[in-house]
Structure 1
Amino acid sequence: YTVDKHLKGLFVSAYQSYLFNRVLVARMPDIDKLLLGDMAYLHVNGACFRVEQPEVEQPRCDRFEISATGPLLGGRTTKLTGPAGEIENPILDGESLNEQDFRQMKHLGARGGRRPLRFQPRNASMSCGQDNFGPYLEFRFELDAGCYATTLLAEITKDRSATAAEPEE
């Protein structure tokens, strides 16, 4: 039994997303902070550069000009160093994979690279209404390629009451 090339590519892409999401969860508490050794993403043009002085670059991050990135594992994935690498590398190393494994699957679309850990929707709006099915909320927004509406909606609709109800220590 053989698996279609497009289905294999889908499996590889899903695995890359799985690894990216694991890194994202690990970085989530401080998602808006750059760390030494990060690869920063320039939102204006998609270029990446290594963060060597996080205290110098942080104001640009605060203005959402740049963001820390997560891996799309493949031959073109830049490995992080320093404190950023101490978070990301154990996650990737724990999978017993390396870039060479993905180089061999380049024909399936596993080129690799990095994408920002956060994004900003553009032209966002919300409206309420009612139709034949009842009341509804409508969210409208634009996202860059590689950003997912499901991620944005999950953040908008998540239950924060459990966190808010926790007693302070």
Structure 2
Amino acid sequence: FNHYLRIRNEQGSLFALIDGDLAATPNGGIFKVPQASAEQERMQNLEISYTGPIFGKKMRKPEEPSQTLENRALEFAGLSADDFGRMKMEGARRAGIVFPANITMAWESEDSVRLDFSLPSGSYATVALGHLFNIDHDGTDIQTL
């Protein structure tokens, strides 16, 4: 999943839909996006997000050209979709972009600030903070909002 997001970032679609994506609503409904331009405004309004792969034998696959990005993530790991037929991993889709909720900030001292926020299950505060401060886990710059 993380490498898939890195691929999207490298090709400029970390914060944009692409044709063939599977998108999700906040309540978990997943739908096909044959034409990204038709749904991009909803993504910009935080109403939907593209989904990324948690690979497994029953994972719902996007259509091209989105599928090509997922294939690249598999190739990076030395895997193919056929490998999951032998494994017990079911697979799933997960929102590619999540947004913090319940955000508060308070100065703790002259040079220290406390930032509190909530994220959906499966999301990591370290990644959110990395985006806030433009630092990736491997120390490279990442695209920011």
Whether TM-score is above 0.5 comes out as yes
Runs of 4+ more than 3 Å apart: none
Partner of 2:106: 127
For structure 2, the residue ranges without an aligned partner over 5 or more in a row are none
Residue of 132, 138, 142 corresponding to 2:114? 138
Residue of 29, 44, 62 corresponding to 1:80? 62
How far off is 1:32 after superposition? 2.0
How far off is 1:26 after superposition? 1.0
Percent identity of paired positions between Structure 1 and Structure 2: 31
Change (3 A) 1:30 1:98: closer
Residue of 41, 45, 48 corresponding to 1:66? 48
For structure 1, the residue ranges without an aligned partner over 5 or more in a row are 1-19, 164-169
How far off is 1:112 after superposition? 0.9
Tell me if the contact between 1:122 and 1:143 (Cα under 8 Å) persists in the aligned partners.
yes
Tell me if the contact between 1:31 and 1:68 (Cα under 8 Å) persists in the aligned partners.
no
TM normalised by structure 2 equals: 0.80
How far off is 1:79 after superposition? 2.0
Question: In the TM superposition, what whole-angstrom CA distance separates every residue of 1:34-76 from its partner, at most 9, and x where no partner exists?
Answer: 1111010112x11111111212111111111111111001122
How far off is 1:123 after superposition? 1.2
Tell me if the contact between 1:37 and 1:80 (Cα under 8 Å) persists in the aligned partners.
yes
Q: Number of residues paired by the alignment?
A: 134
Partner of 2:90: 111
TM normalised by structure 1 equals: 0.70
How far off is 1:126 after superposition? 1.4
For 1:102 and 1:135, how far apart are their aligned partners in 2?
A: 53
Instruction: In structure 2, give the amino acid aligned to 1:111.
Output: E
